[in-house]
Structure 1
Amino acid sequence: MLIRGYLRASTTEQDALRAKEELKAFGTKFDQRIAGYYIENQSGTKLDRPELNKLIEDSEAGDVLLIEKMDRLTRFPWGEWKTLKARIMAKGLVIVVVDQPMTHAVFSSGEQNSITLALTEFMLDLGAAMARDDYETRHKRQAQGIAKAKAEGKVSRSPTECSLTS
C-alpha cells in the first residue's frame, strides 16, 4: 500500500502546498509515510485535472488517495462525482480524508466489513455533495452581493464578469 497525497488549490494565486504538512502529520499519526504528492492549481469543478489523473494512473489496487477535505477532490455535480469515484474505485484506490475519521479504518483495522465499507462510501458521497452545495451557495451569494453593489453604484461589473473558482 502506497499513500499518495493530493493537494489542490483553485487558482495559481492560492497555495496548493498549504496542507502538505497536515497530510504528513496525519501519516505520521498512523506510522505511515506518504510516497508522493500530486500538486495542482485547478478548479475542483474540472474533471480533467492532470495531477489527479496522474495519481490515478500511477496507483495500484490498495493504494491510498489521501486528501485534507473532500472539497480538495471534488466540487462536482452528482453525476460527475460518480464518474470520478468510479475511476478511483476501478483502480482499487482507497480514499482517505483527514477530517473524516470513518475513512481512516484502512490504517488501523486492516480488512473492513461490508457495513463499514458502505458507511465509508456514504460518508464520501455526503462529503462530495456538501462540497458541491458549498460551491453553489458561494456562487449564489457572490452574485447577490455583486448585484446589490451594482444597484447601489458601488461596482460596474456584472456578476458574470466576476467569476468564483473553487
Structure 2
Amino acid sequence: MALIGYARVSTTDQDPQLQLDALKAAGAERVYTDHGVSGAKAERPELDRCLDHLREGDVLAVWKLDRLGRNTVHVLQLIEQLTERGIGFRSLTEGIHTDGPMGKAMLTIMMAFAELERDTIIERTRAGLAAAKASGRTGGRPKRTHNPDADKAKELKAKGLSAPDIAKMLGCSRATVYRYLSEE
C-alpha cells in the first residue's frame, strides 16, 4: 500500500509548496503536481499520470478537496472509479477518507459546499463587475489621452507605408501599430 499525493495550482504564478509539504508530512511517497491548470478542466496531465500510477491498495491523497476538482459530480465520479479499482482516497485538510460509508457521505457533503462556495464567489464577482460597468467604471489600464506615436503611425499609413515598416520606424511591434491605426 502506497500513499500517493496530487497537488494542483490554477495559475503558473501560484506556489504549490504548502500542498507539497502537507502531502509529504502525511507520508506521500510520490506527489504529482499540475501547474496552471484549472480544477474545472477534466483533463489534467499530472492527474492523469497519477491515476495511471495508482494500484489496488494505494491511497490517493490531496491537500484539500477542491484540488481534485471544482465540480462535485466530477470529483465523486473520480472517487467512485478509485473505489472500484480498490484505491482509497484522503483529503488532508477536511480529514475525509473513503474507508467507510460515513467518509463517503461526508465527502459528498463537503464537495457540495465547496462547489457552492465557488459558485457564490463567481456570482459575486460578476455582480461587482456589472455594478462597476453600470456606474461607468471599466477595468484595465487607462487609455492615454494623446499618443504622438499613434498620430505618427496614421500619418505614415496615409503615405502608403505598410504596418511592418511603420513598426520598424516607431520601434514597436506590428500589433501595436495595428492598435494605433484602429484607434479613433
Task: Give the TM-score band, short-chain normalised.
Answer: 0.7 to 0.9
Structure 1 counterpart of 2:159: none
Q: What does residue 56 of structure 2 align with?
A: 61
Distance 1:44 1:91, change over 3 A: same
Q: 1:16 maps to what in 2?
A: 16
User: What's 2:44 paired with?
Assistant: 49
Q: Deviations over 1:24-73 (max 9, x none)?
A: 22x2xxxxx32101000211111111111111110111111111111111
What is the identity, as a one-letter code, of the residue corresponding to 1:87?
Answer: Q
TM-score by length of 1: 0.75
The aligned amino acid for 2:9 is A
Number of paired residues? Answer: 139
Q: CA deviation at 1:102?
A: 4.5
1:83 aligns with 2:66: no
The answer on 1:138 being equivalent to 2:133 is no
Distance 1:77 1:95, change over 3 A: closer
Q: Counterparts of 1:99 and 1:156 in 2: how far apart (Å)?
A: 35
Distance 1:66 1:77 in 2: 17
Separation of aligned partners in 2, 1:101 and 1:156: 40
Identical-residue share of aligned pairs (%): 31
Residues in 2 aligned to 1:84 and 1:47: alpha-carbon distance in whole angstroms: 10
AA aligned opposite 1:70: L
The answer to whether the Cα contact below 8 Å between 1:67 and 1:96 also exists between their aligned partners in 2 is yes
AA aligned to 1:135 is: R
User: Aligned residue for 1:161?
Assistant: none
2:77 is aligned with 1:94: no
Q: CA deviation at 1:138?
A: 1.0
Distance apart, 1:156 and its partner CA: 5.3
Ranked by relative contact order (alpha carbons within 8 Å, sequence separation 6 or more), the top structure is: 1
| Letter aligned with residue 39 of structure 1 | T
Partner AA of 1:82 in structure 2: L
For residues 121 and 51 of structure 1, what CA distance do their matches in structure 2 show? 25
CA contact (8 A) 1:7 1:72 kept: yes
Q: Which residue of 2 aligns with 1:123?
A: 106
Q: CA deviation at 1:8?
A: 0.5
Structure 1 contact 2–35 (Cα < 8 Å) conserved: yes
Q: What runs of 5+ residues in structure 1 fail to find an aligned partner?
A: 28-32, 107-111, 158-166
What is the CA RMSD across the aligned residues, in angstroms? 1.9
1:34 aligns with 2:28: yes
Q: Distance in 2 between matches of 1:102 and 1:53?
A: 22
Residues 117-165 of structure 1 show CA distances to partners (whole Å, capped at 9, x for unaligned) of 11000111112212211111111011001011111222158xxxxxxxx
Q: TM-score, normalised by structure 2?
A: 0.68
Gaps of 5+ in 2: 141-184
